[in-house]
Amino acid sequence: MGNVGLPGTSGFVGEILTMAGTYEVSTWTVVVAATGVIFSAVYALSLYRRVVFGEMTNPALAGITDLDWREVAIFTPLVVSTLVLGVHPSLVFDLTQTSVDNLASVYRAAIGR
């Protein structure tokens, strides 16, 4: 769900901040990007529906089982971190703020602002 930018996930934070920053410069770019995000979400969700809930057509895959404890242990930190960064992105922003400020000041100096 983080892939489609569901609110509360880290994907949403990245998409909304990118579009908010770009909106100040080019509204049409954000309209095109938002359209792409919508199409991407439709594609990803329809793919998910077909893969997870679709009919099994390959008999060789019939023996595949659900996640075992080891796979759940591997995925749990990834899912939790996706949700934590989606709800509280300042954990990363606080660490990167100084570097971003330096990069922005160098960029402004280079373009003469």
**Domain membership flag for residue 52:** yes
**Domain membership flag for residue 99:** yes
**Domain membership flag for residue 1:** no
DSSP-derived 3-state class of residue 67: coil
- Count the domains in the chain: 1
Domain extent for 53: 10-111
pLDDT of residue 86: 87
**Domain membership flag for residue 4:** no
Average pLDDT, consecutive stretches of 10 residues, N- to C-terminus, the chain (113 residues): 74 87 92 92 90 86 87 94 89 93 93 81
Residue 78 CA to residue 113 CA, distance in Å, equals 41
How long, in residues, is the chain? 113
**Domain membership flag for residue 5:** no
